[in-house]
């Protein structure tokens, strides 16, 4: 695009969508950046049906739970949120009144929820976050899955990867059978910093050998279908802007450090 293309999209009230992924271990068979690759492809496919403009994906995000594996790069939560804040402020400066974050990494959900609340400190563009797009196809996943466990580099994620980027899947490295895991929680009923670490001891869970390209296609298409409907509703929404005008206690559009 040129700057004139962007000017036209602002005038036509297109939704800017920022795909967010990660760089982290996804077992021995999937690329480190698969979360961002899938989020980007979902957005591009949805753009065929809705008035959205897809920004370059963000691969650097919040992955402290996998820093003990080579290849993982994690930002601190504060750095990640500041990055998103400045990106949103720049889009707002251009004239976009609504911004969508399309997240592809489960570990980003907690800081993204905090980020959304922090936007109450300022007035301006409404930020919408689609935190877990895979849940949009939960009914299809339940219908198709054969494995007992899924959640990371599993049968489901490997199937989606086989559909979206089959050339990047190391098929000869796909583990056979169910990947060994530890206890789901260190102590039942509480959370600790190492719950995921002691659970996903090999950086993957489930039975990726049960994955198939056909499963991935069906799941991907259902997510896109439901994303398109969400984007339509976001474009029509007025409550977010009304809520920000009512509850924000900062009247500036420029980025500011969090109040002490």
Model pLDDT, residue 220: 97
Structurally, how many domains does the chain consist of?
1
Please report whether residue 2 resides in a domain: no
pTM for the model stands at 0.89
Please report whether residue 3 resides in a domain: no
Residue 114: which CATH number?
Answer: 3.40.50.10310
Please report whether residue 112 resides in a domain: yes
Question: Domain of 168?
Answer: 8-234
Please, which pLDDT band fits residue 254 given cuts at 50, 70 and 90? Answer: very low
Model pLDDT, residue 257: 54
Please, which pLDDT band fits residue 251 given cuts at 50, 70 and 90? Answer: very low
Please report whether residue 81 resides in a domain: yes
Model pLDDT, residue 253: 46
Question: Residue 249: is its pLDDT beyond 60?
Answer: no
Question: Residue 108: is its pLDDT beyond 80?
Answer: yes
Please report whether residue 106 resides in a domain: yes
Please report whether residue 23 resides in a domain: yes
- DSSP secondary structure letter of residue 130: E
Structure tokens at 40: 């980007």
Model pLDDT, residue 250: 47
Task: Transcribe 71-118 into DSSP letters.
Answer: T-BB--HHHHHHHHHHHHHHHHHHT-SEEEEEE--GGGHHHHHHHHHH
């Amino acid at each position: 695009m040129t700057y004139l293309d962007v000017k036209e999209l602002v005038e036509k009230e297109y939704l800017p969508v920022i795909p967010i992924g990660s760089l982290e271990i996804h077992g021995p068979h999937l690329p480190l950046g698969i979360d961002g690759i899938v989020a980007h492809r979902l957005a591009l496919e949805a753009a065929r049906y809705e008035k959205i403009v897809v920004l370059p994906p963000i691969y650097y995000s919040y992955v402290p739970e996998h820093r003990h594996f080579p290849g993982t790069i994690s930002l601190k939560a504060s750095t990640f949120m500041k990055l998103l804040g400045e990106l949103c402020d720049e889009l707002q400066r251009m004239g976009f009144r609504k911004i969508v974050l399309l997240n592809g990494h489960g570990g980003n959900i907690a800081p993204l929820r905090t980020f959304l609340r922090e936007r109450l400190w300022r007035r301006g563009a409404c930020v919408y976050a689609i935190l877990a797009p895979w849940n949009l196809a939960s009914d299809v996943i339940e219908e198709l899955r054969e494995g007992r466990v899924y959640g990371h580099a599993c049968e489901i994620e490997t199937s989606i990867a086989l559909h979206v980027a089959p050339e990047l899947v190391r098929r000869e490295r796909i583990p056979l059978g169910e990947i060994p895991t530890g206890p789901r929680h260190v102590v039942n009923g509480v959370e600790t910093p190492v719950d995921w670490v002691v659970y996903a001891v090999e950086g993957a869970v489930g039975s990726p050998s049960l994955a198939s390209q056909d499963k991935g296609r069906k799941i991907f298409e259902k997510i896109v279908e439901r994303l398109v409907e969400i984007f339509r509703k976001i474009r029509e929404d007025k409550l977010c802007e009304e809520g920000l005008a009512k509850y924000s206690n900062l009247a500036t559009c420029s980025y500011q450090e969090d109040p002490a």
